[in-house]
C-alpha cells in the first residue's frame, strides 16, 4: 500500500479488512464438520431471506400484471394471505393469453442474456452443479432466477415455486462456500443444504426441506447422509426466517367441516391412511418412470 493511501492509525481503510483473515482463520482452526455446520446456519438465514424476496416478487408481479392488468383474482391458499388487496376491476379474458406470453418473453431474455444455466425448472440445474461442477454455481444465477421466475409465475406462466427456490437456495449456498474457500466436498454440502432450506421456507415445511435436500440428488431411493444434518439446520433457520415475516400458519388450510371428518380418535382409523400411502407410493413410482 502506498504511503499516501495508508491511514494514520496504520490499519486498512476498507470496512471489511478483517474478513479475509476471518476466512483463513476458520479454515485453519475449525474442523471441516464444524465449519460446514456453522455455515449451514448462515445458509439457512440467507435462503430464508431469498425466499421472502422471491415470494414478495411473485406476489408483486402477479398483482400488477394479472390483478390490475387482467382483472384476474384466483383464491390463494388458506395459509398464504395475499400481500395486496384485490382491485375491483373487470376481468379481461383476452389478456390472459397476452400477459403470460409477454412474461415468458421477458423472462427468457433475462435468463439467456445474463445466466443461461438458470433456464428450466431449476432443480435439475442444482443437481447438475452438485454432481458435475463440484458444487459451483455462479453468484448471479440465484439473482437472475429470482427475477425471471417471479416474472414467469407472476404473469401466469406454467410452473411452480419448488424448482426456482431450489436453485436460488443452492446458488446462495454455493456462493457462500466459494466466499469461504471451502473444499469441493464441503461446498457441495452447502449447495444441497441451500436447496432444502429454500424449499423449507417457501412451503413452510422444514422437515420436508431437509429430506428433500438429501434424497433429490439421486434417481434411486438413496440418501446423501452427509447432507441430512446440515440441511436440517439450514431448513429450520430458513423456515424461522420466513415465518418471522409471513407468519407460521401451514401453507394449506382445510374448512372446519372437513377437519371434523378427517379427525380420528381410534387407531384403526389410520388404516385408511396406510392404504392411501401404499397407493401413492406405487403411483409415484409409475410417474417417475414414465415422466
C-beta separation of 102 from 155 below 8 A = yes
d(CA 16, CA 97): 50
CATH superfamily of 17-253: Clc chloride channel (1.10.3080.10)
Q: Is the pLDDT of residue 3 over 50?
A: no
Q: Is the pLDDT of residue 127 over 70?
A: yes
Nine-digit cell string for 142 = 440465484
C-beta separation of 107 from 164 below 8 A = no
DSSP of 241-278, one letter per residue? HHHHHH-S--S----HHHHHHH---SGGGGHHHHHHHH
Q: Is the pLDDT of residue 187 over 90?
A: yes
pLDDT band of residue 59 (cuts 50, 70, 90) is very high
d(CA 24, CA 188): 20
Q: Is the pLDDT of residue 99 over 90?
A: yes
> Could you read off the pLDDT of 241-284 as tens digits, one per residue?
999 999 888 888 777 777 777 777 778 878 888 999 999 999 98
Share of the chain above pLDDT 70, in %: 88
Q: Per-domain residue ranges for the chain?
A: 17-253, 255-291
Q: pLDDT at position 14, please?
A: 55
pLDDT band of residue 165 (cuts 50, 70, 90) is very high
Rounded average pLDDT over 230-249: 95
Q: At what angle do helices 184-203 and 162-179 cross, to 10 degrees?
A: 140
d(CA 258, CA 69): 35
CA-angle at 55, arms to 52 and 59, nearest 5°: 135
The separation between CA 261 and the C-alpha centre of its own chain, rounded to angstroms, equals: 34
Q: pLDDT at position 19, please?
A: 52
d(CA 180, CA 182): 6
C-beta separation of 164 from 198 below 8 A = no
- Check residues 3 and 24 and name the one with the higher pLDDT: 24
pTM of the model: 0.85
Q: pLDDT at position 8, please?
A: 44
- % helix / strand / coil in the chain, to the nearest 5? 70, 0, 30
Rounded average pLDDT over 79-101: 87
Q: pLDDT at position 1, please?
A: 44
Rounded average pLDDT over 147-168: 94
For residue 19, count other CB atoms closer than 10 A to its CB.
12
Share of the chain above pLDDT 90, in %: 62
Amino acid at each position: 500500500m502506498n504511503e499516501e493511501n495508508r491511514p494514520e492509525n496504520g490499519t486498512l481503510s476498507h470496512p471489511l479488512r478483517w474478513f479475509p483473515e476471518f476466512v483463513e482463520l476458520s479454515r485453519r482452526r475449525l474442523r471441516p464438520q464444524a465449519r460446514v455446520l456453522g455455515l449451514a446456519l448462515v445458509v439457512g438465514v440467507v435462503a430464508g431471506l431469498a425466499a421472502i424476496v422471491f415470494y414478495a416478487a411473485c406476489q408483486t408481479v402477479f398483482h400488477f400484471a394479472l390483478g390490475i392488468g387482467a382483472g384476474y383474482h384466483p383464491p390463494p391458499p388458506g395459509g398464504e394471505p395475499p400481500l395486496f388487496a384485490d382491485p375491483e376491476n373487470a376481468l379481461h379474458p383476452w389478456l390472459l393469453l397476452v400477459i403470460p406470453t409477454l412474461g415468458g418473453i421477458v423472462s427468457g431474455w433475462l435468463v439467456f442474456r445474463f445466466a443461461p444455466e438458470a433456464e428450466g425448472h431449476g432443480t435439475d440445474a442444482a443437481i447438475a452443479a452438485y454432481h458435475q461442477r463440484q458444487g459451483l454455481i455462479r453468484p448471479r444465477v440465484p439473482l437472475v432466477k429470482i427475477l425471471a421466475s417471479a416474472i414467469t409465475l407472476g404473469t401466469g406462466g406454467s410452473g411452480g415455486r419448488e424448482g426456482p427456490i431450489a436453485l436460488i437456495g443452492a446458488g446462495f449456498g454455493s456462493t457462500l462456500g466459494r466466499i469461504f474457500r471451502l473444499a469441493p466436498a464441503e461446498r457441495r454440502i452447502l449447495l444441497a443444504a441451500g436447496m432444502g432450506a429454500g424449499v423449507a421456507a417457501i412451503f413452510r415445511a422444514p422437515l420436508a426441506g431437509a429430506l428433500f435436500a438429501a434424497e433429490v440428488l439421486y434417481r434411486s431411493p438413496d440418501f446423501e447422509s452427509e447432507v441430512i444434518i446440515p440441511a436440517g439446520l439450514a431448513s429450520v433457520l430458513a423456515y424461522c426466517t420466513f415465518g418471522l415475516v409471513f407468519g407460521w400458519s401451514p401453507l394449506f388450510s382445510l374448512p372446519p367441516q372437513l377437519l371434523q371428518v378427517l379427525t380420528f380418535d381410534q387407531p384403526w382409523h389410520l388404516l385408511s391412511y396406510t392404504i392411501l400411502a401404499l397407493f401413492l407410493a406405487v403411483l409415484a413410482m409409475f410417474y417417475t418412470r414414465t415422466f
